[in-house]
Chain A
């Protein structure tokens, strides 16, 4: 039994094996980008909004509102990053109900990649907001003694993000697969429904935590911010 879609090679390009994680990620990317492009292709102020466009506006506005509620500001760069995180994880988790589709978020490589992206984005947003000196100063606050703890805490964020998402999604998929072998008519359906709920919640949690980390790195004043991380699991 393969626990990770990384082990499933779908096809090979130039001698490089493309596993199910990457291939399914491309599928998700194609779906998200294709649907978005399809809906927003004729988007003009003089054209009345369609239902699909209204649905997209609702989703984007909800993300913008959630980010503004956490960060107390409207920064489109945070929207691009966190919104993409949320939509990608949400789409990936919802697609677990498709038979034969190995969701990329069940791969530790994907969650690690997303965690590394967050881990890299936090200092980048912090530096962009406060400047390099201002951001590095947050590591020695409230005193220099806290420097190693802050560094460890910064990396532990990424690890916890990656493992939390991976564990929830992979365990759900594995449990569903096991129950499918034991009792194929009832429990898998329940587990799939539970997996959908869990997947939506995990996408929300991952995006909110990323927003909180970015907000803590960009918030002013820098003091009193390092210890206010919202931990949700």
Chain B
């Protein structure tokens, strides 16, 4: 166990040389390589972070666009719904109006039909009544009835005086027409009554079995009748007036 100091010195030198060699060929390249790789990794991480930030920004931008589109879609949907609702209400209102119009038309038609039916019924009733009345009067007609008619004519003769006076200008002889011969008393009363209206007129009497029951007075081309037929005609006229008044009332109610 000895120490060779020359070898010691040489080994120290060798060690220092080895330190330099390893620093030159081992530590520096390895550490520099590690540092470079770390720097590259850091650079890539920064780049990745930058790309990630850009991607996040794009994502946020797209999300905003999507939200805007969603809002636009919701707005358009609301507008379409509102428009649809408006159109639906308008169509419903139009349909209701048409329905009301059709209902009014149907009501008017029904009223017209009812009025026509009522008029027809009234007319038929009137005709039936007229027919029955005429038949009853004809069946019941007799001397007494004819005398009653003449009595009625005597009462109304003054009212027809003006008409008869105008007719008397063309003839002075009046002719009383009956189906059956009038009693003498009745004839005298008729002659007196006519003389009161037409003092200058002369009255003749004539019977005609074909005539309707009642009195007909001819003077100067004018004939005034107080017969059952005239009564029935008067009744028919009144029934017609009543039917016309009823129809007018029905039209005003339908309107």
In Å, the complex CA distance between A81 and B3 comes to 23
In Å, the complex CA distance between A139 and B217 comes to 182
**Interface range for B:** 20 to 34
Report which of B5, B15, B23, B25 forms a contact with A88, defined as CB distance below 8 A: B15
On whether the beta carbons of A80 and B15 are closer than 8 Å, the reply is no
On whether the beta carbons of B2 and A60 are closer than 8 Å, the reply is no
Report which of A57, A79, A104, A116 forms a contact with B12, defined as CB distance below 8 A: A116
Q: How far is the CB of B180 from chain A (nearest CB, A)?
A: 155
Which residues of chain A are within 8 angstroms of B23 by Cβ–Cβ distance? 80, 84
Does A226 belong to the interface (CB within 8 Å)?
no
Report which of B2, B9, B16, B25 forms a contact with A33, defined as CB distance below 8 A: B25
Report which of A22, A25, A37, A83 forms a contact with B27, defined as CB distance below 8 A: A83
Does A150 belong to the interface (CB within 8 Å)?
no
Report which of B8, B18, B22 forms a contact with A109, defined as CB distance below 8 A: B8
Q: How far is the CB of A121 from chain B (nearest CB, A)?
A: 10
On whether the beta carbons of B30 and A109 are closer than 8 Å, the reply is no
Does B54 belong to the interface (CB within 8 Å)?
no
Q: How far is the CB of B167 from chain A (nearest CB, A)?
A: 148
In Å, the complex CA distance between A22 and B9 comes to 10
B1-45 vs A, CB cutoff 8 Å, 1 = contact: the mask equals 111110111111011111101110111011111101101100000
On whether the beta carbons of A29 and B26 are closer than 8 Å, the reply is no
Does A138 belong to the interface (CB within 8 Å)?
no
B145-162 vs A, CB cutoff 8 Å, 1 = contact: the mask equals 000000000000000000
Which residues of chain B are within 8 angstroms of A117 by Cβ–Cβ distance? 12, 15-16
In Å, the complex CA distance between A76 and B36 comes to 16
Within 8 A of B (CB), among A25-42: 25-26, 28-29, 32-33, 36-37, 40
Which residues of chain B are within 8 angstroms of A64 by Cβ–Cβ distance? 31
A75-90 vs B, CB cutoff 8 Å, 1 = contact: the mask equals 0100111011101100
13 more CB-based (< 8 A) A-B contacts, given A21-B7, A33-B22, A76-B31: A29-B14, A32-B22, A36-B26, A36-B29, A45-B36, A84-B15, A84-B19, A87-B22, A104-B11, A113-B12, A114-B11, A116-B8, A117-B16
Instruction: Report, nearest first, the 5 A-B pairs whose CB atoms are least far apart.
Output: A113-B11, A40-B29, A36-B26, A109-B7, A33-B21
List A residues at the B interface (Cβ < 8 Å): 3-4, 6, 19, 21-22, 25-26, 28-29, 32-33, 36-37, 40, 43-45, 49, 53, 56-57, 60-61, 64, 76, 79-81, 83-85, 87-88, 104, 107-110, 112-114, 116-117
22 cross-chain CB contacts under 8 A: A21-B11, A22-B7, A29-B17, A29-B18, A32-B22, A32-B26, A33-B22, A36-B25, A43-B29, A43-B30, A43-B32, A45-B37, A64-B31, A79-B27, A84-B15, A84-B22, A108-B1, A109-B7, A114-B15, A116-B8, A117-B15, A117-B16
